[in-house]
Amino acid sequence: MAQFQPVRGTHDILPDDYARFRHVVDTARQAAQLFGYREMATPIFEFTDVFARSMGETSDAVSKEMYSINDRGGENLALRPEYTAGICRAFISNGQQQNVPFKAFAWGPMFRYERPQKGRQRQFHQIDVEVIGAAEPQADVEVIALGAEILRRLGILDKCTLELNTLGDPESRVGYRDALVKYFSGYADKLSEDSRKRLEKNPLRILDSKDEGDRKLVADAPLIHDYLTPAARDFFKVLQDGLAASDVPFTVSPRLVRGLDYYTHTAFEFVTTHLGAQGAVIAGGRYDGLIEQLGGKPTPGIGWAGGIERLVLLSDPQPVAPRIVAIIPIGAAAEAEAVKLAGELRRADIAVELAYGGNVGKRFKRADKVGCHAAVVIGDDEIANGVVKLKDFKSGEEASVARAELLGKLKV
């Protein structure tokens, strides 16, 4: 019988690796809480139309990469390729319009059919931050500052650069759209097939093209900054001033765009050169038109997503391991006493490794293998005298400790 392997583009996260994975999630969660964000979750699958509306039916993520199925009830469902659409859907369907600004932190698996490579898998995981119901640029400042704080706490902010741009307001986009149509129409025969279609429907999407021929043309395309209204310029200035006041350095990147119409004002990415081709570790922007596009009342929003696998690759190899105590019983009476002691220590929030069997030597080897920092040895003599032997693995010291004083010793 053939040995089963993980499906291509997926991977197992074994305990040693999961410690790093959990460290990223816990660090992000703690930072988000300090900024006043509350954790939530949505189902990993939604009606396909949720993503088709939010990401564009002709986008690669929807037309080429999304895992969609028709279930037994005839419903067309899709595994989520990103988190924002699901959170916005939850905001609408759970009647959260009265609770704005709605500040959410979430994390979980996403799914896209892509060519697997370093930092890019078909099942991957993201942390996600959203603020719904705040139109002010100060919300943009806070969202970006939170991303920077998470990177700082992970010790990798110095490996990343914040690239920032404005997409303008809807009024700015009208003039910019006309300029793009005029420019790209002059090169229509050189555009890719996808971009020729975009030229008719949404020329801003051409700026997102990955086609090399398109990218050469994009390099000389008009810039949004030349078409900004005074209000859009003011918004972008307040954002930049706020980031400077928050001590978050940035580089204005005028070619950074989001192609869909509901994106406005802010677009940003934290990028790195330490992961090869997969340079973006956190990316986001303002999506003031998305809630309305999903059927809700016009409601502004801004957020970002960060790839957990990429953050793990970029972070230090191993977070600090938890302190674990091994209990090693010698004899039948000590076995029962060890179970009792393990319960007491765990209720006091002390991690305990209690081997299920084997001689003393094997139990000590097990304790060393799982990274225990100390061992509590119990035998008949220790039970009779109301003591235990406490061995510190780092120093090698061993001492008898009164049973009543053990908890205090381990808490130090």
**Sign, CA torsion 356/364/340/382:** positive
Residues in the chain: 412
318 is in an annotated binding site: no
Give me the residues paired with residue 131 across strands.
Answer: 103, 302
18 is in an annotated binding site: no
130 is in an annotated binding site: yes
38 is in an annotated binding site: no
Token duo for residue 126: 């993201």
Give the separation between CA 37 and CA 27, rounded to whole angstroms: 13
67 is in an annotated binding site: no
Give the separation between CA 59 and CA 198, rounded to whole angstroms: 10
258 is in an annotated binding site: yes
First to last CA, the chain: 53
39 is in an annotated binding site: no
Nearest to 281 by CA among 167, 165, 152: 152
Give the separation between CA 154 and CA 145, rounded to whole angstroms: 14
Give the separation between CA 234 and CA 223, rounded to whole angstroms: 17
Binding-site positions read 82-84, 112, 126, 130, 258, 262-263
Binding-site positions for L-histidine read 82-84, 112, 126, 130, 258, 262-263
